[in-house]
């Protein structure tokens, strides 16, 4: 039997999706094939402190052990955030790393939201020259920021809901203008969201001017830019994308939220939302969903994985792209792995494929001449 792959799992993080990341990490650790992988967990606290745990060769951490306790030397070693060199040394397999100093072969960043899903951790791993699962810096940043993402969709000619956006300074300077613009262009109800966050954190549905103002103030707690979108009475359709330059799509799925819309509670807390995989939609619509998902994935230069979300308007069947999630959840109730399972790719095989894609992408990038020497 060949040497096991040394896999680094990074989870937690400073974003509002910290707890979602823990759920994802727990699920992934429980499904990985320990005959193939040796795992070193890297936990990032809510304050951004890195902690590294012992190498796991056969026993995943329990959910209550994921927050590696620095008070227990056997459980975790604090990693100084600065200077950068010691952190990269540990990621790359320096002698101080728990588990004996075997270099990390590939990293699986199980982080959601800012400081993880937005290109920041991807940039760190690029600097460290370590292969990693998922989208690169550009796709991660574009996929995380809703305003940038929607501009790319518009350039690609993908149909989407009407939206408006502004930053904190603009709002404070002339809130009345943006209120009027939203009322004229979008009407009520409308959805107010932080531009750079996921898992429905910070999202509100505003039914009048008073609620709009409160929703904007709430969204600014999570980001310096806010996006406001028109309400569409629609079914929520999703599809999973897997691959690098020649990606494939799963069967589409549908979510019937337990709440008024698919908010954080409906996604991760009450477990009452209903999912239908495959979605009960015409074949023509399913084909359009898959085609638009691939166009969106390639438009942001995606790699590895993404879940692409759509609205299917109830009145006329018009399809609108909503967003691309470059690091979708892997919790037991997450749509991404469930749609691939229905498409014939079980959870464990899906994880193997993602790691394989990460190593392939890294190998392909080694052929690029970054020095601009033209081979001379």
Residues comprising the binding site for Mg(2+)?
Answer: 309, 323, 325
C-alpha distances in Å from residue 244, one per residue of 157, 189, 209, 300, 301: 22, 38, 44, 12, 9
Question: What are the two backbone dihedrals, phi and then psi, of residue 330, each rounded to the nearest 5 degrees?
Answer: -120, 30
Distance CA 26, CA 315 (A): 41
Annotated binding site: 146, 191-193, 199-200, 229-236, 309, 322-323, 325
Task: Give the DSSP H/E element, type plus range, for residue 136.
Answer: none
| 76, 68 contact by CB (below 8 A) | yes
Catalytic residue IDs: 17, 199, 334
Distance CA 300, CA 41 (A): 29
| 37, 28 contact by CB (below 8 A) | no
Give me the half-sphere count of Cα atoms (radius 13 Å) on the Cβ side of residue 311: 20
| 222, 195 contact by CB (below 8 A) | no
H helical segments located in 145-276? 146-156, 168-185, 209-219, 264-268
Distance CA 11, CA 18 (A): 8
């Amino acid at each position: 039997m060949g040497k096991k792959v040394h896999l680094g799992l990074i989870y937690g993080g400073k974003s509002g999706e910290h707890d979602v990341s823990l759920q994802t990490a727990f699920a992934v650790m429980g499904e990985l094939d320990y005959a193939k992988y040796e795992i070193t967990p890297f936990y990032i606290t809510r304050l951004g402190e890195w902690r590294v745990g012992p190498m796991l060769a056969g026993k995943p951490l329990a959910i209550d052990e994921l927050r590696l306790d620095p008070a227990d030397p056997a459980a975790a070693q604090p990693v100084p955030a600065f200077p950068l060199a010691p952190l990269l040394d540990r990621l790359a397999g320096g002698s101080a790393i728990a588990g004996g100093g075997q270099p990390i072969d590939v990293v699986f960043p199980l982080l959601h939201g800012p400081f993880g899903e937005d290109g920041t951790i991807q940039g760190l791993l690029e600097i460290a020259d370590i292969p990693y699962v998922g989208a690169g810096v550009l796709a991660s940043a574009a996929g995380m920021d809703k305003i940038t993402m929607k501009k790319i969709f518009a350039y690609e000619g993908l149909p989407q809901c009407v939206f408006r956006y502004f930053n904190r300074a603009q709002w404070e300077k002339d809130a009345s203008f943006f209120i009027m613009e939203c009322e004229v262009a979008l009407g009520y109800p409308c959805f107010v969201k932080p531009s750079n966050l996921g898992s429905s954190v910070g999202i509100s549905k505003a039914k009048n001017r008073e609620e709009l103002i409160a929703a904007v103030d709430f969204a600014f707690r999570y980001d310096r830019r806010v996006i406001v979108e028109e309400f569409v009475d629609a079914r929520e359709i999703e599809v999973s994308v897997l691959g690098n330059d020649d990606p494939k799509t799963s069967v589409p799925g549908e979510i019937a939220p337990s709440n008024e819309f698919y908010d954080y509670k409906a996604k991760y807390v009450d477990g009452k939302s209903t999912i239908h995989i495959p979605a009960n939609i015409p074949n023509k619509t399913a084909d359009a969903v898959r085609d638009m998902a691939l166009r969106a994935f390639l438009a942001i230069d995606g790699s590895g994985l993404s879940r692409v979300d759509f609205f299917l308007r109830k009145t006329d069947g018009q399809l609108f792209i909503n967003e691309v999630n470059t690091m979708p959840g892997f919790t037991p109730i997450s749509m991404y792995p469930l749609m691939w399972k229905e498409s014939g790719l079980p959870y464990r095989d899906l994880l193997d494929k993602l790691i394989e894609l990460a190593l392939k992408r890294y190998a392909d990038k080694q052929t690029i001449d970054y020095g601009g020497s033209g081979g001379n």
